[in-house]
Amino acid sequence: MVKKRRLKKRIPCIFGNHQREASEALLDVWMHNPHVCYALLDRDFRFIRVNEAYAKADGKEVSFFPGKNHFDLYPSEAKSIFEQVVATKQVYATFSRPFTYASHPERGVTYWDWTLTPLLDKKGEVARLLFVLIDRTARFHTEQIITNFFSLSTDIFLIISRDGSIVRNNGKLRLFLGIADERVAFDTVFSVVPYVHPDYNEKARQTFGRAFQGETLREVEVSYICADGAIRWISWSLSPQIERGIVYCVGRDITERKRIERELAESNENLSTILSSITHMCFAVDAEWRLTYLNDEAEKIFGKPRADLLGKGLWDLYPSVIDTVFYREYHRAVTEKSPHSFEAYSSLFKRWFGVRLYPTSNGLLIYSRDITEQKELLNEMARLDRLNLIGQMAGGIGHEIRNPMTTVRGFLQLLGSKHPESNAYFELMISELDRANAIITEFLSLSKTKPGNQQLRDLNRLIETIFPMLQAHAFRNDKEVLLELTPLPEVLIDEKEILQVLLNLVQNALDVTQAGGKVTVQTVLREPQYVTLAVSDCGPGIAPDIVDRIGTPFFTTKAEGTGLGLAVSYNIINRHGGRIEFDTSPLGTTFSVHLPA
């Protein structure tokens, strides 16, 4: 498009006395400018003088032009403009005006910025015309290339001057805002302001203010309300040219990206809500083993606030897990990039976990169920199965063994009376038979499936009754038994059987406690439906490799033990509808007996 501008300014007369000489000297300087074409014409448009640049533009000599009429050489519609300048005595200017040289058609269309200035005589009439031209062909073609490039781009391109004028744009902003009416002016940034979302007015203002202060900005997101009422988004990047007083602006439509981000955020929020509501532990780590997500149950099990965990390295938080099955399986899942599951006991949390691992593109998702109760239930069922089997065996063979032993004992007593010189030997044999009979009695107790004579009893009073005997036995071995009793409701028990359990547990505790050590007997109401009897020692704890065998008949770590004490105790408490649990560490072991209140 050709830009025209008429300058409403009269040029004073330059032909008076010394003024003529000064003007001629100034004109002489102009004429020697090699970059600007100058021509001096009379009011009838005949050439008076041209400079080298003017003549060279048409491939002619300077001497060729004087006396020739401009429009005889270059006929065009511009003649009416020249006539208008003579008539109005006003300067006329135009920019990038196309012109084709008839004598040089091979040059094609050329483009010129030119100015026609009337020079007045003393009477105020136009005496001469100063015709000034600058060749803008190369620049015009460059601008056309840039314009075409901008028009092909789907991005928005703007050049904004310091006063807010939009010097150039590729028309994509109008399309983005959905403004079809060409009469709506889009020549300043202020014409765009009504479409900026109210929540982003201040941000947009500050952004362009910072750009005009020389700051380059990248990906500044601004929301707009389009002509159809739709809310859309532009990501702006601004590059200032302070010395020229302009800012280059490139805007990209990110409406679809924002929609996807919003849906993804909603999806993540829904997923997070679902995962948080899961009663099992769920957490995620990135490729560097940093925690990126954990649900409420994971936060509870880890025992730390979520804010203290997120972003921290898993192995930095829990170095004791390194070289455990958890560490190896986690790395295996990441290496093989395939989901798999495993079960393992965590010494850190003192719990069994069933773990399912899901490798992701940048890490690992861990889903973990606490299966401690299931494991304990399975172990208890297995233990009870063993006890039932042994009980059945005991019931079947116990009496068959006892009957011959009774006969043998009777004959030994008879022989002892007849051979008094060997009485010591006979008494030893009878003592061993009695010991074997006691073992068989314990063995037979495993076959019992129903409780004995149960009555309501005060467990604390029962303990206090037997305490002197326990303390005396401990003192003989330089040890001590302490009582920590809490008031309890009465419980329905077989007094003799519960005493047997207490004696077994205290004896085991004293056996592993060093001289000078203490064994503590406690009672407490920890659950509304259960009372608890706990016996704690100061021994070295139970070795991990035998934990699962505790309570198994005939399993013992004592040199002279039978391995029936704990088995019988488990069976007695099981018949009472209770349970036995234990907690062990290098500092000692506590056996807890839970009985229904």
Sheet holding 156-161, edge to edge: 166-169, 156-161, 246-253, 231-241, 217-225
Distance CA 16, CA 404 (A): 161
| Count of other CB atoms within 10 angstroms of residue 324 | 16
Does residue 561 contact residue 554 with C-beta atoms inside 8 Å?
A: no
Residue 222 phi, psi (nearest 5): -130, 140
DSSP H/E element including 139: helix 137-152
Q: Residue-wise pLDDT tens for the chain (597 aa)?
A: 444 444 444 444 444 444 555 556 666 667 778 889 999 999 999 999 999 999 998 889 999 999 999 999 999 889 999 999 999 999 999 888 888 888 788 888 898 899 999 999 888 999 999 999 999 888 888 877 776 766 667 788 888 888 888 888 888 888 888 887 776 777 888 888 899 999 999 999 899 889 989 999 999 999 999 989 999 999 999 999 888 888 999 999 999 999 988 888 777 676 666 666 667 888 889 989 999 888 888 888 888 888 888 888 888 888 888 888 888 888 898 888 888 889 888 878 888 888 899 898 888 988 888 888 887 777 766 666 665 656 555 555 655 666 677 777 777 777 777 778 877 777 878 777 776 766 666 655 655 656 667 888 899 999 998 888 888 888 888 999 999 999 988 888 888 888 888 888 998 899 889 999 999 999 998 766 789 999 999 999 888 878 777 777 766 777 566 667 787 888 888 888 888 888 888 889 999 999 987
Residue at token pair 């100015």: 115
Instruction: Determine the Cα–Cα distance for residues 241 and 107; give it in Å rounded to an integer.
Output: 34
Residue 116: its pLDDT value, please? 94
CA–CA separation, 218 and 220 (whole Å): 6
Could you tell me the two tokens for 226?
């389009």
Other C-beta atoms closer than 10 Å to the C-beta of 53 total 20
Distance CA 550, CA 582 (A): 10
For position 571, what pLDDT does the model report?
A: 80
Residue 568: C-alpha distances to residues 215, 350, 377, 497, 575 (Å): 84, 27, 19, 9, 11
Nearest 5°: CA angle at 538, between 533 and 543? Answer: 95
* Cβ neighbour number for residue 35 with a 10 Å cutoff: 7
Residues 300, 306, 312: CA angle, nearest 5 degrees: 115
Per-residue model confidence as pLDDT tens digits over 395-429: 556 556 666 777 777 777 777 777 788 777 778 78
Distance of alpha carbon 143 from alpha carbon 145, whole angstroms: 5
CA distances from 157 to 2, 204, 394, 545 (A): 21, 16, 95, 74
Q: What is the CATH number of domain 455-596?
A: 3.30.565.10
Tell me which amino acid residue 2 is: V
CATH class name, domain 153-258: alpha beta
pTM of the model: 0.39
CATH fold of 278-370: Beta-Lactamase (3.30.450)
Which pLDDT value is given to residue 589? 92
Looking at domain 3-136, its CATH architecture is 2-Layer Sandwich (3.30)
Nearest residue to 302 (alpha-carbon basis) of 418, 233, 312, 244: 312
Domain 153-258 and domain 278-370, same fold? Reply is: yes
Radius of gyration of the chain (CA): 53
How far is the C-alpha of 486 from the C-alpha of 196, rounded, in Å?
Answer: 73
Quote the CA–CA distance of 370 and 388 in Å, as a whole number.
29
Q: How many Å apart are CA 472 and CA 480, to the nearest integer?
A: 9
Q: What is the pLDDT of residues 101-111, one digit of tens each?
A: 887 888 888 98
Question: Residue 574: which of 486, 460, 498, 495 has the closest Cα?
Answer: 498
Nearest to 288, CA basis, from 319, 322, 311:
311
Question: 383 vs 128, 380, 388, 476, CA distance in Å?
Answer: 124, 5, 9, 35
Cβ atoms within 10 Å, residue 36: 15
Domain ranges of the chain: 3-136, 153-258, 278-370, 374-445, 455-596
CB 129 within 8 A of CB 40: yes
Tally of helices (H runs) and strands (E runs) in the chain = 17, 23
